[in-house]
A and B are shown apart, each in its own frame.
Chain A
Amino acid sequence: MLRLLSIALLLAIWWTAALFVGGAKLPSPPAVLDVIVAEAASGALFLHLGATLARVALAFVLAMSLGSAIGYLMGRVKLADRLGDPWLILLLNLPALVVIVLAYIWAGLTEAAAIAAIAINKLPTAVVTLREGTRALDRSLDEMATVFAMPRWRAFRHVVLPQLAPYIAASARSGLSLVWKIVLVAELLGRPNGVGFEIGVAFQLFDTPRLLAYSLTFAAVVLVIETALVQPFEARATRWRPRAA
Chain B
Amino acid sequence: MRLEVEITGKTFKSAAGGMHEVLAPVKFALQSGEVGVLIGPSGCGKSTMLRIILGLDRDFDGHVARPPEARIGMVFQEPRLLPWRSVEQNVRLAAPDVTDAKLSELFKILELEAHRSHFPGELSLGLARRVALARAFAVEPDLLVLDEPLASLDDALAGRLRDEIATLVASRSVMTLLVTHSLDDAIRLGDRLFFLSPRPARIVQELPIEIPRAERSEAELARIRAKLAALPLESK
Q: List residues of chain A with CB under 8 Å of any chain B CB.
A: 140-141, 143-144, 146-150, 154, 158-159, 162, 240-242
Q: Can you list, as one digit per residue, whether each of B59-98 has a CB less than 8 Å from chain A (1) or not (0)?
A: 0000000000001111010101011110001000111100
In the complex the two chains form, is A140's CB within 8 Å of B78's CB? yes
Chain A positions within 8 Å of B78 at CB level: 140
Shortest B147–chain A CB gap in Å is 11
In the complex the two chains form, is A240's CB within 8 Å of B121's CB? yes
The answer for the CA separation of A242 and B85 in the assembled complex, in Å, is 13
B26 at the interface (CB under 8 A from A): no
In the complex the two chains form, is A242's CB within 8 Å of B121's CB? yes
The answer for the CA separation of A211 and B54 in the assembled complex, in Å, is 65
Among B51, B74, B82, B121, contact of A158 (Cβ-Cβ < 8 Å): B82
Q: Can you list, as one digit per residue, whether each of B109-129 has a CB less than 8 Å from chain A (1) or not (0)?
A: 000000000010110000000
Majority secondary structure of chain B interface residues (helix, strand, loop or mixed): loop
Shortest A155–chain B CB gap in Å is 9
Instruction: Count B-side interface residues using an 8 Å CB cutoff.
Output: 25
The answer for the CA separation of A202 and B76 in the assembled complex, in Å, is 66
Chain A positions within 8 Å of B76 at CB level: 140, 143-144
The answer for the CA separation of A34 and B119 in the assembled complex, in Å, is 53
In the complex the two chains form, is B72's CB within 8 Å of A147's CB? yes
The answer for the CA separation of A240 and B72 in the assembled complex, in Å, is 28
Among A141, A154, A242, contact of B80 (Cβ-Cβ < 8 Å): A141
B230 at the interface (CB under 8 A from A): no
Given the known interface contacts A144-B76, A240-B119, A241-B121, the answer about A150 and B82 at a Cβ–Cβ threshold of 8 Å is: no
B226 at the interface (CB under 8 A from A): no
Shortest B69–chain A CB gap in Å is 10
Among B71, B80, B83, contact of A149 (Cβ-Cβ < 8 Å): B71
In the complex the two chains form, is B80's CB within 8 Å of A144's CB? yes
Given the known interface contacts A147-B56, A148-B94, A149-B72, the answer about A140 and B121 at a Cβ–Cβ threshold of 8 Å is: no
In the complex the two chains form, is B121's CB within 8 Å of A148's CB? no
In the complex the two chains form, is A162's CB within 8 Å of B94's CB? no
Shortest A126–chain B CB gap in Å is 22
